[in-house]
Amino acid sequence: MTVPHHRGTAPTGPSRRSVLAAAGLTAAGMAFQGSLGASGAAAATAPAIFYSPHQDDEAIGMAGSILEHKAAGRPVYLVLVSKGENGGIAEYLNRTPCVLGDKCSAPGHYHELGWQETGATPEVVSARTSEFNLSAKALGVDKVINFKLADSAYGTDSEYDAFVKQIMGKVRALAAKYPGASHKFTAGWLDTTDPARPTNATHKACSDAAYWLIKNGELKDVRFNHIYTYEAFSRDQRDRGADHVLHIPSSHMAKKRASILAYNTWDPKRNLYTAGYHSVPTMLEEAYNDPREFVYALPSRYKPGRGK
């Protein structure tokens, strides 16, 4: 099943009834304590801060956890870490016929946008960020924070290290501003240990930033969601090694799907060009159809660095 197309329809808000039903389900599930983290009720008014490396990661692998925290009464802040520069998306959207064929939601599957394909890719960054903001709205987060960091995770080793330090600086500032907050990153190390699996240096840089801040005693309540599992593993393998599998209640899954649809909405008037779906169609489809998220604590034998 593919992700349905959207042409210009904004996700609708939750009904009061679905919000109440979601709260009831989450309260029952709180015995797990897995993804809600250590602070639980003690820091009920401190925010849970989710760090999405790119526009789309929050929809694919964090949306259920975001909604779980909201239902538990926690304010949720959603951070976009990198600008999301991506020449590949520009190449796809500059080209007709589309690589997605009939799955492409542009009218007539036609798009010759003439976007910049190298360097800062400003149109891609702008369109992806419009999708991110629409996704954040669908999830009802309390605050959106954009670090606007140029993604140098794929540069030289020293550029990678500098990128990790930039993330650390920004996270440190949020930790100081919001004492008692819990911090949720991507489990980037899981994408780099197996050569047969997808590699994403930006996701690893986010994990590394969390690792050093935990090691320095600057962050305490930290969890990691695995994003690429939806693409790397078949459905029956995705929970292997996870410290906690979040089973997303159907009322939350409806909102998660609305957030995924933000990445498959063609509406140029709103600067929406299905950039996400032209980037990671498989992951968006798999996450759309799998009502689970996979949550990890920091492994005891964590290895910082970009790796291969």
# residues contacting Zn ion (CB under 5 A): 6
User: How far apart (Å, rounded) are the C-alpha atoms in residues 293 and 291?
Assistant: 7
Distance CA 128, CA 277 (A): 10
The residue among 35 and 225 lying less far from Zn ion, judged by its C-beta, is: 225
CB of 71 to Zn ion, least distance (A): 25
Among 54-62, 75-83, 136-144, 168-176, the segment contacting Zn ion (CB under 5 A) = 54-62
Q: Is 257 in the site for Zn ion (CB under 5 A)?
A: no
Amino acid found at 166? Q
**Contact, 150 vs 294, CB < 8 A?**
no
Minimum Å gap between C-beta 90 and Zn ion is 12
Judged by CB under 5 A, the stretch of 56-64, 135-143, 237-245, 294-302 that binds Zn ion is 56-64
Q: Which is nearer to Zn ion, 74 or 203 (CB)?
A: 203
- The strand pairing partners of 293, in sequence order, are 246
Tell me the closest approach of the beta carbon of residue 307 to Zn ion, in angstroms. 16
CB 184 within 8 A of CB 50: yes
d(CA 214, CA 221): 9
Q: Please name which of 248, 260, 225, 249 lies closest in space to residue 1, comparing C-alpha atoms.
A: 260
Among 14, 29, 34, 53, binds Zn ion (CB under 5 A): 53
**Nearest 5°: CA angle at 160, between 158 and 164?**
115
Per CB under 5 A, 54 contacts Zn ion: yes
Of residues 72-111, which lie at the interface with Zn ion (CB under 5 A)? 98, 100, 104
CB 204 to Zn ion: min, Å: 11
Reading the block at residue 196, the tokens are 């047969």
Q: Which is nearer to Zn ion, 19 or 100 (CB)?
A: 100
| Neighbouring C-beta atoms of residue 8, cutoff 10 Å | 11
**Min separation Cβ 298 and Zn ion, Å:** 19
Please say which residue, 104 or 242, places its beta carbon nearer to Zn ion: 104
Minimum gap (Å) between residue 152 Cβ and Zn ion: 15
What are the distances in angstroms from CA 246 to CA 17, 33, 39, 151, 258? 22, 10, 18, 30, 18
Contact set with Zn ion (CB under 5 A)? 53-54, 57, 98, 100, 104
